[in-house]
Each structure stands twice: as C-alpha cells, then as structure tokens.
Structure 1
Amino acid sequence: MKKYKILLMISLVLNILLIGSGSYVVNKIGGIDFGKTKVQATSSPKKDANYYFTKKSIFEQSTIQQPDKVFIGDSITDYGEFQEYFSGEVVLNRGIRNDTAEGVLNRVDEVVERNSAEAYLMIGVNDIRHDTDIQDFRKNVTAIVDAFEGTSTKLFLQSILPVNNGLFGNDVSNEKVKEFNDVLQKIAYENGIKYIDLHAHFEDESGQLDKRYTVDGLHLNGEGYTLWIETLNAT
C-alpha cells in the first residue's frame, strides 16, 4: 500500500508539471485564444483561413457601387495593383491569397452586388495544388458564372497561368494547368462569355512560366503584371 501511495504521488506530480509546462507554452505563443484560432484554421478547408475571413469582411464593408472593373482571384490577383493601371477608373481588387474556386463562390455575392461594368476572374491554381477534383472545380466555377446571370456586369474568364517548376517545385504540373484551362474555356463557351488565354502569353518555349515574369515560379513580378494588363487591353 505504501508503495502504491508513492507511485500515485509521483504520477500526480508529473501531471501537475505537464499541465504547468503546457500552460506556459500556450501563454508564450499567444494564449488560449491563439490556440482556438489555430484549431479553427486547420479544420477549415482554406489553407489561410484567418486571412480569407479578414479580407472577406473588409470587402463586405465597402460602400463602392458600380465600379468600372473588379479583379477576382487568389494571390496572383491579390498582389496586383490594378488601380494604378487604369487611371480615371474605379477598380476593385477582390483577390485573396490561397483561395480556390469554392472560396470565391462563397464570397461572390459581395462582388455581384457591386454591379461593376466588368469583372475578371482568375482562379484554379490552388485547386490544382489541393487536388480538387476537376468536376468539382467545373461545378464551382459554373456556379460563380451563374451568380452574374441577369446582371449588367460583363464577366471575363481568364486562364490559369503556367508555373515554372524549376523555381516553384512540382506542387503544380503544367499538364494539369492545361486540363483545368480546358474546363474554363468550355464553361466560357457554354455560357457565351469571353475567355482570355493569358497562359499563352506567359509560357516559355518549354511550356513553363517565363522567368522574366516571376521570382518564385508561381507569382508575377512587375513585368508580369504589365504583360497581364497589356494582354487585357489588347483583347
């Protein structure tokens, strides 16, 4: 019995030490609220849930109506300073890094209600990165297109850009990009809307994203955004 009591006391002491060290770690990294946030983020289908919902809430507070142009997409759109390319026009950026077609669908009503003259959608590279089934991608993009039906907004579907695997790695294959672009082109055709093939303007002779237009192999640099806008202006 005495031996049992000693073992019990040792167990209690160890548990107290473990609880104490755990509390110390939680406090060091931001407390209980931080822990809750991290759990919510990892259980979300979004890779970057906090950023997504923060940007979404900011967009929803905007009072701008009937802008000239709105750009919708993921980080490639998010990083673009589109307003600077169209002086004298009201241009909105509705890009959110790490977003997917499903993520855009879940926030597209805010864009539709602005009644913009033109809307430019580029989405899909993160669907490829996250292994989204291509039929689910088709369904989500089609639903985004349907959301604009009956409005005066002229919607443009833009192709997914090529990736430079030598710089970015192999999370995205350019063969897959072409498959998803075929889907986008078919959706555009079926709905009578304009498909803009940016892909052809950005690939090098080997089918990779040209190094002139990127630093990391996925996102665009300044020259890349200039080419993007020049291509849009030429369509």
Structure 2
Amino acid sequence: MLTAPTNTTQAQAAAPFANEIAWFKKQDSIKAPPQKPILFIGSSSFTNWKDVQDYFPGYPILNRGFGGSSLPHLLLYADEIIFPYNPKQIVIYCGENDFGGGPQITADSILVRFKRLHNYIRSKMPKVPIVYISMKPSPFRQKVLPQMQAANELIKTFANRTKRLEYIDVYSHMLNADGSIREDIFLSDKLHMNKQGYAIWQPLIAPYLRRK
C-alpha cells in the first residue's frame, strides 16, 4: 500500500518541484490571483522574470514559472498550476531543460512532449488561446543549439496548423548580425537573461497578449 512521504526529502524524490508548487499555493492563499489571468508557465526564463507585470501594464499577468522544469513537469502539474486559475490565455516558455535528459532527447522528442501538454490543456480548455515562446539561444546551450532550432521549427509548424495556438520567435532576435549569440543580454552564467534580454522579449510578446 502506498503511503504519503514522511519527510521533505522523500516528498521531493516522489514529486520533483513539489516545494515550488506548494509555494504557489501558499502565495494564492496570501493574495488571491487575478480573475481570468494571462498565465505564464514554464522554466527559469519565466521564474526569473520577477517584474514581468511591469513590462505589460494593463494585462493581468500571473507568473507560475518554476526554474529547472521541462515540458513533462508542466504536464505533471497542469491540474495544479493551470486549470485552477481559469486563465483567459496561456503563455508557455519551456523546452530548454528537456535537452538535459541525454542524447536520446531530440527535436522530435520535444515536439511529442509539447503536443502531449497542448492536447491535455485542450482536453480541459478547448478554446483558451495558447502561445508558445521559442526556446532562446544562449552561450550555455551552445552544444544543443542545432537541435533547439530544429525543435523550434517543428513547434512553429505545428502551431501554424493548429487553431488557437500561436508561436513567437525570440530566437532570431537574440543574435548579432553575423548570427552569433548576443552575450551582453545574459547574466554571468551565460544562461539566464538580464534586463536587456527581457527588453527584447517585451515587444515581441506584447502584440499576442489578450485584453479580453
């Protein structure tokens, strides 16, 4: 018979990111989230965007990104971080961390994972608009950039063929004229963006956000 984990270590082993999900629930109990928000979900590029609301004044942004997450984690916690909020729009940034799963993770794997997440959301929310932000190029991910670009293209093609699913290209806007990665828009870890990076993202994302 299964029993509940008896300590934090066991809980974390049984359910990765359980502490982050618990923290979201605690925040919701302290301050009620906005009604029908624009829900940002995904990995650390959203987690670190602490002042995202300031970039999109007038929009009810709710940020539920948790760093280190991959697409299967968003699927795992969809019942806790997506549906309870009854979002009017869902914005997803995820996929980079999936490549950390080893050489067996390919562009096709990423597409399959994204489709699973998309289809699960659709099974519960048939009409909610979904936006996928392309995986970004970073010096830290240099070795997997070809696979990342291929995965971006596969998801873009899928989005173009799918109702109420839109794709935003941030990848190409984060490069120099010669095609190299702009290193000035990253923190010292060469992975996470600084304010200059988010300043690039803001005008690319804003036209896709729903006011109603």
Alignment TM-score > 0.5, same fold: yes
Counterpart for residue 85 of structure 1 = 55
Residue in structure 1 matching 2:112, options 134, 139, 151: 139
Choose the corresponding residue for 2:133, options 151, 158, 161. 158
* CA RMSD in angstroms, aligned pairs only: 2.6
Q: Structure 1: any 5+ residue segments left out of the alignment?
A: 1-32
Residue 76 (structure 2) aligns with:
106
The one of the two structures with greater contact order (alpha-carbon pairs below 8 A, sep at least 6) is 2
Matched residues, percent identical?
Answer: 20
Partner of 2:204: 231
1:76 paired with 2:51, answer no
- Offset at 1:59? 2.6
Q: CA separation in 2, counterparts of 1:198 and 1:169?
A: 15
Structure 2 letter corresponding to 1:95 = G
Query: Contact 1:72/1:95 (CA < 8 Å) preserved in 2?
Result: yes
The Cα shift of 1:123 comes to 0.8
Check the 8 A contact 2:11/2:18 in 1, yes or no. no
Q: One-letter code of the match for 1:204? A: N
The structure carrying a bigger helix percent of its residues is 1
Which string of whole-angstrom CA distances, capped at 9 and with x for unpartnered residues, describes residues 96-140 of structure 1? 111101111111223133222221101111111222623443222
What's 1:198 paired with?
A: 170
The aligned amino acid for 1:130 is: G
Deviation, 1:234, is 4.2
Taking structure 2 as the reference length, the TM-score comes to: 0.77
State the Cα distance separating 1:67 from its structure 2 match.
Answer: 3.4
Q: Take 1:169 and 1:198, find their aligned partners in 2: how far apart are those partners?
A: 15
Specify the structure having the higher radius of gyration (Cα).
1
1:23 maps to: none
Give TM-score scaled by structure 1 length.
0.71
Distance 2:131 2:114 in 1: 12
Matches of 1:207 and 1:112, distance apart in 2: 39
Matches within 5 A, 1:121-140: 121-131=92-102, 133-134=105-106, 135-140=108-113
Number of equivalences: 191
Matches of 1:85 and 1:180, distance apart in 2: 28
Counterpart-to-counterpart distance in 2, 1:180 and 1:208:
19
User: Does the Cα contact within 8 Å between 2:37 and 2:61 map onto a contact in 1?
Assistant: yes
